[in-house]
Structure 1
Amino acid sequence: MNYMGNANWWNNRFQSRSLNLMKHEKTLEEDIQFFQGRKTILDIASGDGRNAIYLAKLGFEIEAIDFSFEALKRLNYFANRENLKIKTELMDISKDDIIKLTKKYDAIIINHYRLPQKLYVDLINFLNIEGILWVNGFSELPKDNPNIRESDILYDEDFKDLNPNNFIDKKEYEINNNRFIRYIWKK
């Protein structure tokens, strides 16, 4: 997948941003009850860590992966500034780097990144029993962001290979006339 650009595009984008962390995803905050009783969380396509920082402040053990070196550099800066310990790793999971994952997690979050369909099934294998997969993103092309393409949009069929008995919740919502969708699956 080439979500809104490749690693170079994102490196340039993160390099040009001011050293202010964006606010965490509101839907993640609204869904925090799904994370209760869990300890370890993997944040895939973490960017500069707005959700990783939020979850670490709540006491979760966070690992964050992204294909942008500049994003992870910023995430480490923000984590250090907040005196938080977050393990980061440069990884492009869309290019089968998933095999580099070596442990299991209580939760995996993916925010505003659409993986190739087959990887959602693979990710379930990296969850502990009762672990959750939380995926959030655009459900239609936003009118105010030309960088987002059709290939970035989440669809129900992206998850067709996951066991339907493990489906927990789906939420469709709107922010500033942009439409989003969030899915939660359980192992």
Structure 2
Amino acid sequence: MQEDKQRWNQRFSNKPLAQPNPPGFIVDKASVLTRGRVLDIASGDGAAALYLAERGAELVAADISDVALERLQTFSVQSGLRVETVCIDFDEREALSDLGKFDAIVMTHFKPPVALLKALTDLLLPGGLLAISTFNLDHHKHKGFSKRFCLTPEEFKNVDERLACELYQSANRSGDFMDDYLFQRKG
């Protein structure tokens, strides 16, 4: 995963230092995602984390890129927000379990492997929410984005028997073609 870290560090090093806009699905679902402790997986420089922290959630942002997390911390200080950051390789399941339990977990613009989704379900409190919004095959068709990182229709709908799918939708947000999921942890 060192290659992934280097690639993402380079990408974030080359971005202008401007706070990112929040993902549309997170904005739409903020009222249910801001209760308690929230984990932002593959947070990048904080588009979702900063938005949810601003609305009162206790945020932990996790990413493989320490450069992205440094940017997130800069933005959080500038905004007077508190966001805990954790640099983590998501393939290291033990490191995930050290993060504790959460009322909600959000993931945007990242297609997680099923094994990661199952590990994240372990981190959700009963009744907790898992929100995912990432690129679908229409994004590949219209933008040439790598098919490997795109969801097929309903790909995650029945991903884990411990999760009830409360919402599944496909959306076109300003030319970004996304599949959105909102799950609730049973029990």
Scaled by the length of structure 1, the TM-score of the pair is 0.87
Query: What CA RMSD, in Å, does the superposition of the two structures yield over aligned residues?
Result: 2.3
Question: Per the alignment, do residues 66 and 165 of structure 1 end up closer, same or farther by CA in structure 2, a change over 3 Å counting?
Answer: closer
Structure 2 unaligned residues grouped into runs of 5+: none
How far, CA to CA, are the matches of 1:152 and 1:62 in structure 2?
26
Whether the aligned pair in 1 keeps the contact of 2:42 and 2:110 (CA below 8 Å) is yes
SS across alignment from 2:99: coil
Cα distance in 1 for partners of 2:164, 2:91 equals: 23
Partner AA of 1:30 in structure 2: D
Output the CA distance in 2 between the equivalents of 1:176 and 1:59: 27
CA change 1:94–1:149 in 2 (3 A) is farther
Task: Kindly indicate whether residue 122 of structure 2 is the aligned counterpart of residue 125 of structure 1.
Answer: yes
In structure 2, the partner of 1:22 is 20
Task: Give 1:46-57 correspondences, 5 Å limit.
Answer: 46-57=43-54
Offset, 1:33 = 3.2
Which of 131, 138, 151 in structure 1 is aligned with 2:135?
138
Q: Which has the higher contact order (CA 8 A, sep 6+)?
A: 1
Structure 1: tracts of 5 or more residues without a match: none
Q: Would you say how many aligned residue pairs link Structure 1 and Structure 2?
A: 183
Distance 1:89 1:129 in 2: 24
Instruction: Tell me which amino acid in the other structure corresponds to 2:56.
Output: G
What is the distance in 2 between the residues matched to 1:8 and 1:20? 21
Match among 88, 91, 94 for residue 94 of structure 1? 91
Per-residue CA deviations over 1:105-140 (Å, capped at 9, x if unaligned) read: 000001011111122122111011110000110112
For 1:31, what is the secondary structure of its paired residue? helix
- What amino acid sits opposite 1:74 in the alignment? R
- Written as runs of structure 1 = structure 2, the 5 A alignment for 1:58-97 is 58-96=55-93
Change (3 A) 1:33 1:80: closer
The 1-side partners of 2:142 and 2:155 are apart by 25
Q: Tell me if the contact between 2:111 and 2:150 (Cα under 8 Å) persists in the aligned partners.
A: yes
State the 1:96 CA deviation.
3.3
* Alpha-carbon distance, 1:97 to partner: 5.2
Q: Aligned to 1:84, what secondary structure does the other structure show?
A: coil
Contact 2:43 2:62 in 1 (8 A): yes
* Alpha-carbon distance in structure 2 between the residues aligned to 1:61 and 1:165: 23
Q: Does the 8 Å CA contact 1:137/1:154 hold for their aligned counterparts?
A: yes
Query: CA shift at 1:176, angstroms?
Result: 3.4
Correspondence for 1:149: 146
Percent of aligned positions with the same letter in both sequences? 26
The answer on whether the counterparts of 1:142 and 1:178 sit within 8 Å (CA) in structure 2 is no
